[in-house]
Amino acid sequence: MLIGGACDPGGAAFDAFLTLSGAREGGRIIGFTTASSDPVGSAVAWKDVFASAGAKNVEFPIVDRRDRAQNPRIAQAVLDAKGIFLGGGDQVTLVSTLSGSSVGRAIRQAYARGAVVGGTSAGAAAMSETILAGGETNGRGEAIARHLGPGLGLLGFSSVVDTHFTKRGRLQRLFRRVAENPELLGLGIDEDTALIVRGHLAEVAGTGAVTYVDGRAVRFDNADEVLMHGASLTLSHLRVGVVGAPYVFNLRERELEIVVQAEHEEGETPSVKGEEVL
């Protein structure tokens, strides 16, 4: 479950994680604030959020260094959990700390066994095969170096996830990354909005929407000129769509599931027995 950040503790996006993980019924939740610049303070705040929402069995161990990500007790707690929650901050820090560690491997194993893995902001951005960070300006107008690298790999489909999408005006950033890597599926998730993934189907919940960007049909781009000379981005035939609640997006087909189903039904050929059409 990927949340675009700034989730309302009483909203549909966060409620979906609580419901699916059984948190209100005592399902064990293990959370990590590894991405935060203040992991301890963030852990305290998130425990309060979960408690106020009715979650009864929540632990936020402090994993702020690589050596702590090798702790076997924490790894076992992850394996025993019904829900795993990754908080916000810096997705590069989160991935570099957890990826390949005992805790990181335990998260992958728990996910494979059926645990619900949820993340908000950086926690959501880190789940894809490829992570995106930087490539924009900060509050002082200074350029932040672009980062495109490996993520935790829980979400496949050659996807890259961007969060706080509409609020921070990140459409152009996602366009550029997909132009540079046309096989990527860009997913821009709004604040207080969740993308709930089951297999290859992803349902949207919450107050915003999810924007998808598919570069496979692009006929022309000047991504090299943008990278080398800072030219303005030019693209032709980029596929872009917006999905709001409660619609379902087919990650495999990169299209709304309602459209995929309609095309499937239109393409069915009726069977014939003798001269009678069945």
Angle at 158 between CA 150 and CA 186, to 5 degrees: 95
Q: Is 191 a catalytic residue?
A: yes
Beta strands in the chain (DSSP E): 2-3, 29-32, 58-59, 83-86, 116-120, 128-133, 147-150, 155-162, 185-189, 193-198, 201-206, 209-214, 220-221, 235-236, 239-244, 248-250, 255-256, 272-273, 276-277
Catalytic residue among 21, 42, 191, 203: 191
Of the residues 36, 42, 99, 164, which is catalytic? Answer: 164
Contact between 150 and 129 (Cβ < 8 Å):
yes
Whose CA is closest to 12, among 53, 71, 61, 58? 53
Instruction: Provide the b/e sequence for 137-176 (b: ≥16 CB within 10 Å).
Output: eeeeeeeeeeeeeebbbbbebebbbbbbbbeeebbebbbb
**Do 94 and 34 contact (CB within 8 A), yes or no?**
yes
CB 103 within 8 A of CB 126: no
Q: Which of 21, 102, 121, 159 is catalytic?
A: 121
Quickly tell me which residue has 């025993």 as its tokens.
Answer: 80
So which residues are the catalytic ones? 121, 164, 191
